[in-house]
Amino acid sequence: MSTTSSTFNPGKGNGEPVGIAILGHGTVGSEVLRLLNKYEDDLVHRIGGAFELKGVAVGDLAKVRPGVPKELFTDDAMELINRDDVDIVVEVIGGIDYPHEVVLAALRAGKSVVTANKALVAAHSAELAEAADEAGVDLYFEAAVAAAIPVLGPLRRSLAGDRVLSVKGIVNGTTNFILDAMDSTGASYDDMFAEAQRLGYVEADPSADIDGHDAASKAAILASLAFHTRVTSDDVYCEGISNISATDIKAAQSAGYTIKLLAICERLIDDNGQETVSARVHPTLVPRSHPLASVDKSFNAIFIEAEAAGRLMFYGNGAGGAPTASAVLGDIVGAARNKVHGGRAPGESTYASLPIADFGDVETRYHIDMEVDDRIGVLAETAAVFSDRGISLRTVRQEEGGEDHARLVIVTHKAKESDLAATIESLNNLPAVKAVNSVIRLEGE
C-alpha cells in the first residue's frame, strides 16, 4: 500500500528529520550506511517521515573510507551521542566494555538505540532495559541473534500470547561450517578449521566461536525473551567443538545422526511442578530426520516449540555484513517510526522471573564411546556402573578394536547431568575401561 499525502508525515511532527548516528564503520557499520543510502527513498515512506544521518563515530579518522563524506566522521562518540539533533544511535562496534559505556550514555541521553552486539545484550540486558524504560526510548537488538533471521521479533510479539516450551538452534555459522564439512568429507577438525580460516569464516581470535561463547550469548538472549526471565551469558553452560573428532562424526553417521553445536533453551518442570529455565550450548547428536540436521555450511536455524503454535523453524544467513545490516536496518525503521508517530517498541518482559536450573539437574540422552578390555564379562561390569546411578541403556554396540581391546558405544535414555558425570568418573576408574573417548549429548528424538 503506497503512502499518500494524507498519511505521510514529513518528520517528527514538526518537519524535522529523524536524526541517526552510527557508532562503528567496520563490516556491518559500512553496510548499514550503504543500505541507508541505497534505500533512502523507500525508507522515508516506510518510516512515515524523513531521516538524516548526522554522523559516524570511528576510532581512526585517518583511515580512507571511499564514497563517504569526510565531514560525517568523528572520533568523539560521546559528543555525537549527545547532539540535540540525534534521535537514534546505532551501535555496531562489537565488544562489551566500551559499547556498554556509549550505549548506556545514549539511552540516558534520551536516544533510542539499535545494536547488533549480542555479547553486550547478554551481559547487560537488565541495566540497558532499565535505562531505556527510565528515558522512555527504544532498545532494539534483532541483529544480535542470527543476523537477518527474524527470530527475536516473533518471540517478543508473535509468540507473546503463547507459552514457549523450548528454543533450540544452530546460531553460530563458523562452527556449523566446520562440523558440516567434517560430516560431508570425513576430514579432521584441524583440517576443516584451517579451511574455515582460509575462507574467512574464523575471526582473528576464534575462541568466541569455537569455544561456544558466541552461541552462549545468543542462547541467553533467546532464553530471556522466550521465558520472560532474565538470563545472562553466565547462566549458560558452554562447551565448544574442538574435541569433536572424525571418529565421533563417523560414529554419529553409523547411528543415523549428525553433530551440531546447538544452543538449547528449555522450560523445565520438576515432579513438584516447580518451573525452572535451562540454557546450554554444546555439541549435540541430532537425528538425520530432524530439520536442524539438514542445516549446512554457515547457515543458522532456530527451532521453537510452543504450546499453541506448535513447532516453528526459522532458517537463513546468520552472519555476514549484509544479512546483519538488514536486521539493523529493520530495527532503525521501527525506532524511527516510533519517533515520528509516537509510542515504543515492546520492552523487557521479566514477569515470570523463573529460577535458573542447576545444570546437574538437566536431563538429556548421551552417546558414550569408550575402549574396554576385550574379554568376557566386561559388558556386564560396564552396564553395572550405569545401573548403579539409575541410568537406563537404550542401545549398546560393541566393535572390534586393537589386539586386546574392543570399542563399546552406548546410548542412554534420559538421565541427569550430575548422574552422568558421576558415571563417567566411575568408568574412568574401572579397570576394564581403557579410555572414555567421548561423551556427546543427544537431542531431537
Residues classed as catalytic: 218
Which residue, among 33, 139, 144, has the nearest Cα to 88 in the 3D structure?
A: 139
Would you say 188 is a known binding-site residue? no
Residue 125 labelled as part of a binding site: no
- The span from the CA of 124 to the CA of 104, in Å, is 10
Distances (CA, A) of 419 to 209, 276, 363, 395: 29, 19, 9, 18
Q: CA-to-CA distance for 56 and 74, rounded, in angstroms?
A: 6
Which amino acid would we find at residue 237?
Y
Is 29 annotated in a binding site? The answer is yes
27 in a known ligand binding site: yes
Measure the CA–CA gap between 68 and 79, rounded to whole angstroms: 20
Place of cell 539533533: 85
Task: Give the three cell numbers for residue 370.
Answer: 569408550
Distance separating alpha carbons of residues 11 and 340, to the nearest angstrom: 6
Bridge partners, 369 (sequence order): 409, 438
Closest of 415, 367, 443, 445 to residue 170, by C-alpha: 443
Residue with grid cell 551501535, as numbered in its chain: 91
Buried (b) or exposed (e) across 377-397, using 16+ Cβ within 10 A?
A: ebbebbeebbeebebeeeeee
23 labelled as ligand-binding?
yes
Residue 34, SS3 per DSSP: helix
Q: What is the rounded CA–CA span in Å between residue 115 and residue 145?
A: 11
**Which amino acid type is present at position 325?**
A
Does the annotation list 118 as a binding residue? yes
Pairing of strands 299-306, 164-170: antiparallel
Annotated ligand binding at 25? The verdict is yes
C-alpha cell at 79: 559528543
- Tell me the angle at which helices 321-341 and 27-38 cross, rounded to the nearest 10 degrees: 60
Is 100 within any annotated ligand binding site? no
In angstroms, the CA 29 to CA 59 distance is: 13
Alpha-carbon torsion 424, 428, 432, 435, what sign? positive
How many Å apart are CA 326 and CA 103, to the nearest integer? 20
Element (H, E) at 331: helix 321-341
Binding-site positions for L-homoserine: 203
Binding-site positions: 23-30, 118, 203
Binding-site positions for NADP(+): 23-30
